[in-house]
Structure 1
Amino acid sequence: MTQAERHLFPVCGHRAHLPDELAAQALTFAAPGAAEPDDVQDQLRCTLQAHVTGAHSSFVMELDGRTSGAVWTHWARGGVPEALVVKQDCPVSGPEPACEPCCEYVDHPGAHTWELDYSWRNTPLVTAPKLRELLV
């Protein structure tokens, strides 16, 4: 089954900026010399399936090693990121033949990344009332 044949869920895409102090702190999670400021994502978008409740989540920085996980941040609707957390990668892979790995963190809410529609990149952000309409 191709991606075009599968039903894809809308991705949230809510934007936030990682404060400079958190961007600097993200580097401390990496082994000495293993990360540079350019490795830190400071322009954030929530990568979870579209949602009307709960915190937004965004990847901040990859950590070296197959089992090291990545640095993530979360923020409330209308808020800004206030903390960083290291989370292990989601262990789930998509269906064959692609077996695409999920790019979220373990136990994330909503759909896996291969089940999400990222067409928001080319369209305006969906407002909460419109999102409720789409999810019904």
Structure 2
Amino acid sequence: MNAMRAMKQYQQVGVQASVFEASPHRLIQMLMQGGLDRIAQAKGALERGAFAEKGELVGKALSIIGGLREVLDKEVGGELADNLDRLYDYMIRTLLEANRSNDADKLDEVARLLGEVKEGWDGIASAA
């Protein structure tokens, strides 16, 4: 058990170092990936019947998507930022419903949508 705790602490230090060194663009990528990871983990917990764990993981995904929504710059982003705001709002409402009704299909839907946004965001880095 102590080895597992030490490994988690080591991983956390690695993540913290990555965050410290990351560009703003990379931070958004990391957040999106974190959201996708939490949704996948929530689906796994749901399938195992670990409902408390599922709820905790959905809560983390909600926080991540809420954070992505909060950093939208509508003055600079214009219509694109407005569209993302509405999409993030939809994702949040869908995750809340997925959590309430234990609906794996709704988790999949949000993961697909967030994955598409991340793919577009990743493409910005490639184009730059």
Normalised TM-score (structure 2) = 0.28
Q: Which has the higher helix share?
A: 2
